[in-house]
Structure 1
Amino acid sequence: MTTDAPVPSGRSAPLLRVVRGDPTPEEAAALVAVLTARARAARAGDGGPAGPPPSGWRDRSRLPGRSPAPGPGAWRAAYGPR
């Protein structure tokens, strides 16, 4: 179990902390660059997740190509054997 060391006065708490391993300065810089780019994209609204996928009930891609025409036998044309 690890405990967080107290932050000296006048300094803010670190945003990242290495828990295991010993990253090189290049690896740490690459991680910071990726996290910064994702945060900026999410703030700008062009890179974050688009939200949950649409419900199957609202998915219009499964509908038939054309709407059935009203009239006698229309149900057969729409739902009968093809």
Structure 2
Amino acid sequence: YATPFDNFPVGQFFDKGITLRGGQAPAHKHIDKLMQHVANGDVRLDDIISHRLPLSQAPLGYDIFRNKKDNCMKVVLTPGS
């Protein structure tokens, strides 16, 4: 899970006395409810999807994501396109 964040404002957290906590969430437990929110349009994913590719270009998509090329955040692979 280790990822370097060169632009993370650690100093601002200290200055403002902000406590940051992290952990893992049981995503599989909530996936059905989350997907329903996406299907209903309650949740916008456009802000985090940076790349859309056909499934046939999956290796390229994984390379872009793994190496964070072109400021990649998330890649959506679409079957049949």
Query: Which TM-score band (shorter chain)?
Result: under 0.3
- TM-score (ref. length: structure 1): 0.23
Query: Which has the bigger relative contact order, CA under 8 A and spacing at least 6?
Result: 2
Larger Cα Rg: Structure 1 or Structure 2?
A: 1
- TM-score (ref. length: structure 2): 0.23
Q: Per residue, is there more helix in 1 or in 2?
A: 2
